[in-house]
Amino acid sequence: MLKKHGILLLAAVFVMVSAFAAHAGDLTPEQLVADAKAKTEKVSVHELKSMMDRGEDIIILDVRDKEEFEKEHIKGAINISRGTLEFLVQNKIPDKNARIIVY
Protein backbone atom coordinates (compact mmCIF):
# COMPACT_ATOMS: atom_id res chain seq x y z
CA MET A 1 0.00 0.00 0.00
CA LEU A 2 2.82 2.42 0.82
CA LYS A 3 4.41 2.03 -2.61
CA LYS A 4 1.01 2.21 -4.32
CA HIS A 5 0.38 5.72 -3.14
CA GLY A 6 3.96 6.93 -3.36
CA ILE A 7 3.33 9.06 -0.31
CA LEU A 8 6.09 11.23 1.02
CA LEU A 9 5.69 11.43 4.73
CA LEU A 10 6.61 14.25 7.00
CA ALA A 11 8.03 13.88 10.46
CA ALA A 12 7.36 16.40 13.15
CA VAL A 13 5.18 18.63 10.98
CA PHE A 14 3.16 19.58 13.94
CA VAL A 15 5.98 20.97 16.00
CA MET A 16 4.36 24.11 14.71
CA VAL A 17 1.09 23.25 16.46
CA SER A 18 2.67 23.27 19.90
CA ALA A 19 4.69 26.39 19.16
CA PHE A 20 1.97 28.19 17.23
CA ALA A 21 0.29 29.86 20.19
CA ALA A 22 3.54 31.30 21.49
CA HIS A 23 4.69 32.70 18.15
CA ALA A 24 1.49 33.42 16.23
CA GLY A 25 1.32 37.04 17.29
CA ASP A 26 4.91 37.70 16.26
CA LEU A 27 5.01 36.04 12.82
CA THR A 28 3.13 36.38 9.55
CA PRO A 29 1.44 33.28 8.08
CA GLU A 30 4.25 33.03 5.53
CA GLN A 31 6.85 33.13 8.28
CA LEU A 32 4.98 30.45 10.25
CA VAL A 33 4.94 28.16 7.22
CA ALA A 34 8.63 28.79 6.49
CA ASP A 35 9.47 28.11 10.15
CA ALA A 36 7.50 24.86 10.15
CA LYS A 37 9.16 23.70 6.91
CA ALA A 38 12.60 24.44 8.34
CA LYS A 39 11.83 22.26 11.38
CA THR A 40 10.26 19.44 9.35
CA GLU A 41 12.13 16.30 8.39
CA LYS A 42 10.87 14.56 5.25
CA VAL A 43 10.71 10.79 5.42
CA SER A 44 10.34 8.57 2.35
CA VAL A 45 7.95 5.64 2.17
CA HIS A 46 10.93 3.27 2.40
CA GLU A 47 12.31 5.04 5.47
CA LEU A 48 8.91 4.80 7.18
CA LYS A 49 8.69 1.10 6.37
CA SER A 50 12.14 0.60 7.90
CA MET A 51 11.10 2.50 11.03
CA MET A 52 8.01 0.34 11.35
CA ASP A 53 9.99 -2.88 10.74
CA ARG A 54 12.48 -1.89 13.46
CA GLY A 55 9.61 -1.17 15.86
CA GLU A 56 10.61 2.46 16.37
CA ASP A 57 8.45 4.48 18.72
CA ILE A 58 6.57 6.67 16.25
CA ILE A 59 3.04 7.98 15.87
CA ILE A 60 1.61 7.82 12.37
CA LEU A 61 -0.89 10.64 11.86
CA ASP A 62 -3.20 10.51 8.84
CA VAL A 63 -4.61 13.99 8.14
CA ARG A 64 -6.92 12.99 5.31
CA ASP A 65 -10.71 13.11 5.59
CA LYS A 66 -12.42 10.32 7.54
CA GLU A 67 -13.85 8.74 4.37
CA GLU A 68 -10.41 8.47 2.77
CA PHE A 69 -8.96 7.05 5.99
CA GLU A 70 -11.71 4.43 6.23
CA LYS A 71 -11.05 3.26 2.64
CA GLU A 72 -7.38 2.59 3.28
CA HIS A 73 -4.70 3.68 5.72
CA ILE A 74 -1.41 2.63 7.24
CA LYS A 75 -1.94 0.08 9.99
CA GLY A 76 -1.92 1.74 13.40
CA ALA A 77 -2.36 5.28 12.05
CA ILE A 78 -4.38 7.85 13.96
CA ASN A 79 -6.83 9.88 11.87
CA ILE A 80 -7.29 13.58 12.57
CA SER A 81 -8.41 15.42 9.46
CA ARG A 82 -6.73 18.71 8.57
CA GLY A 83 -9.91 20.65 9.27
CA THR A 84 -9.98 19.54 12.91
CA LEU A 85 -6.30 18.96 13.57
CA GLU A 86 -5.60 22.09 15.59
CA PHE A 87 -8.56 21.35 17.87
CA LEU A 88 -7.99 17.62 18.44
CA VAL A 89 -4.24 16.98 18.25
CA GLN A 90 -3.54 17.83 21.90
CA ASN A 91 -6.15 15.31 23.09
CA LYS A 92 -5.16 12.50 20.73
CA ILE A 93 -1.39 13.11 20.89
CA PRO A 94 -0.63 14.74 24.23
CA ASP A 95 3.13 13.95 24.13
CA LYS A 96 4.66 17.10 22.65
CA ASN A 97 8.01 15.30 22.27
CA ALA A 98 6.63 12.33 20.29
CA ARG A 99 8.04 11.67 16.84
CA ILE A 100 5.05 12.07 14.57
CA ILE A 101 4.91 10.84 10.98
CA VAL A 102 2.23 12.76 9.07
CA TYR A 103 0.68 11.87 5.73
CATH code of residue 19: 3.40.250
Q: Residue 62 carries which DSSP code? A: E
Spell out the SS3 assignment of 1-49.
CHHHHCCCEEECCCHHHHHHHHHCCCCCHHHHHHHHHHCCEEECHHHHH
Higher pLDDT: 22 or 50? It is 50
What pLDDT band is residue 56 in, cutting at 50, 70 and 90? very high
| Residue 53, CB-side half-sphere exposure with 13 Å CA sphere | 6
- Interval 59-80: pLDDT, tens: 999 999 999 999 999 999 999 9
**Residue type for position 85:** L
Q: What is the pTM of this model?
A: 0.62
Provide the number of structural domains found in the chain.
1
Q: What domain range includes position 61?
A: 2-102
